[in-house]
Amino acid sequence: MQKLVIEGGVPLEGEVFLHGAKNSALPILAAVLLCDGETTLENCARLTDVFAACRILTHLGCRCTIRSHTVTVNVCDLRSDTIPEALMQEMRSSVIFLGAVLGRTGSCHISYPGGCELGPRPIDMHLEALQQMGARFHIHGGELDCTVPDRLHGAKIHLPFPSVGATENVMLAAVLAKGRTVLHNAAREPEICDLASFLRMGGAKISGDGESTIVIDGVEKLHGSTYRIMPDRIAGITYLGAAAITGGTICLRGTDAHPMENVLPMFEQMGCRLYPEPDRMHLLAPRRLHAVPSIQTMPHPGFPTDAQAIFMAMLSVANGVSVIEENIFENRYRHVDALVKMGAKIHVSGRIAVVTGTQTLSGASVSATDLRGGAAMVLAGLAANGKTEIRQISHIDRGYEAIETVLQGVGGRITRVDMGI
């Protein structure tokens, strides 16, 4: 077991090179199954979730090699349509392999994906959509057996909610299906566009990604390619936030403003000055952040739920009262107790969190509750007076590559300590 130890109170200053997006790499690694031959993915972050996805591909019969930030996959002899429970449990979003395995083999057997720290992670929308495309499901004893009696075929599908995962699973099932699939109320996140770009690189016929209606015409086969994963916008927001909460300045390299444009106005509302350039973003923080009266998480292009905890940490030391409304997940305030233990004044009632900014926070010993909640604790520790220790950092390592090294590079006093247990 490891922990992060942070000595707070130092304004961060310097350059951060942004790694590739976790929430883009995972569906694209599943999509690789649909492509014949060899696929090379560049700018693939070294994250535990990415390694877990590669283990699933290897179990299915692919040959995976990881060299630095490049993953090469050869879909040579696919020998299984079954993902064992141990591998399914390693990664929260392993259900993303369902559409790809079905699309490739016509059958798929997985353990029913459990919930996670954010609450139950139902997949009803995934299953209803895939059923419309000809898939049949049998759920028994926590197992999900999927078969396609004939061949997956196109369908007109309307998602009741613009679910990111359900949108991705439909795309993965549709690219090799027979005929046209029209997906209404599709998720519009930038990672959806990255997945569509990757699939088009392999020969898929997809249009409308990034909008609410995606049209896919099935083709006979897809071929391998070399593709560069987009930068991780949530990691980018996190590192901008680290400079903002410590009153520092940062240059974020490897991204432009576009993927983060739905949160940049909030940084400006807090008093940060932003200077976007074609391949980088500069942030200059004020001495003390201003509160943001209202933040409501919504599907893209609204404020991203993954940035909620990050902003809550910043607003905990802002001047004034901020009101946050979490509309996407039902249990995404688990980081509040840790922030309150550090001196934050936060009152939660249902989906609403009222944050009354305090001048300072105090270091404390806390445990990461989930990926973005853990990142919020890192930001709070960087701003706090004294020492903060964060345990359960495996949550953080799912989505941030070597977070302590990145923050040390901009002056953060943060180290990773082995607890020897």
Interface residues with ligand EPZ (CB under 6 A) are 22-23, 26, 93, 121-126, 161, 163-166, 305-306, 328-329, 371-372, 399
Nearer to ligand EPZ, 164 or 318 (CB): 164
Nearer to ligand EPZ, 225 or 369 (CB): 369
> What is the nearest approach in angstroms of ligand EPZ to the Cβ of residue 319?
28
Give buried/exposed letters for 279-293 (b at 16+ CB in 10 A, else e). ebbbbebeeebbbbe
CB atoms inside a 10 Å sphere around CB 64: 17
What does DSSP assign to residue 221?
-
Helix, strand, or coil (residue 173) = helix
Strands 70-75 and 63-67: antiparallel
To the query of whether residue 251 is one of the catalytic residues in this protein, the response is no
Structure tokens at 210: 């990034």
From CA 144, how far away is CA 47, in angstroms rounded? 27
Nearer to ligand EPZ, 81 or 194 (CB): 194
Nearer to ligand EPZ, 114 or 122 (CB): 122
Beta strands, E only, 177-318: 180-184, 205-207, 213-217, 222-223, 226-228, 249-253, 273-277, 280-284, 294-296
Closest Cα to residue 377, out of 419, 415, 342, 326?
A: 342
Q: Point out the catalytic residue in the list 44, 62, 116, 251.
A: 116
> What is the nearest approach in angstroms of ligand EPZ to the Cβ of residue 163?
3
> What is the nearest approach in angstroms of ligand EPZ to the Cβ of residue 287?
30
The answer to whether residues 23 and 45 touch, using CB atoms and an 8 Å cutoff, is no
> What is the nearest approach in angstroms of ligand EPZ to the Cβ of residue 124?
5
From CA 296, how far away is CA 278, in angstroms rounded? 29
> What is the nearest approach in angstroms of ligand EPZ to the Cβ of residue 11?
27
> What is the nearest approach in angstroms of ligand EPZ to the Cβ of residue 306?
4
Greatest CA separation for the chain: 64
> What is the nearest approach in angstroms of ligand EPZ to the Cβ of residue 223?
25
Phi, psi of 91 (to 5 degrees): -135, 130
> What is the nearest approach in angstroms of ligand EPZ to the Cβ of residue 29?
11
From CA 300, how far away is CA 163, in angstroms rounded? 10
Ranked by CB distance to ligand EPZ, the top (closest) residue is 165
As beta bridge partners, residue 253 has: 17, 280
What angle, rounded to 10 degrees, do the helices at 233-245 and 308-315 form? 0
Structure tokens at 247: 């009153």
Phi, psi of 69 (to 5 degrees): -110, 25
Helices (H), 275-331: 308-315
Nearer to ligand EPZ, 236 or 357 (CB): 236
From CA 81, how far away is CA 112, in angstroms rounded? 15
First to last CA, the chain: 5
Residue 117 sits at the vertex; the CA angle it makes with 112 and 41, to the nearest 5 degrees, is: 70
Nearer to ligand EPZ, 74 or 311 (CB): 311
Residues with a known catalytic role? 116
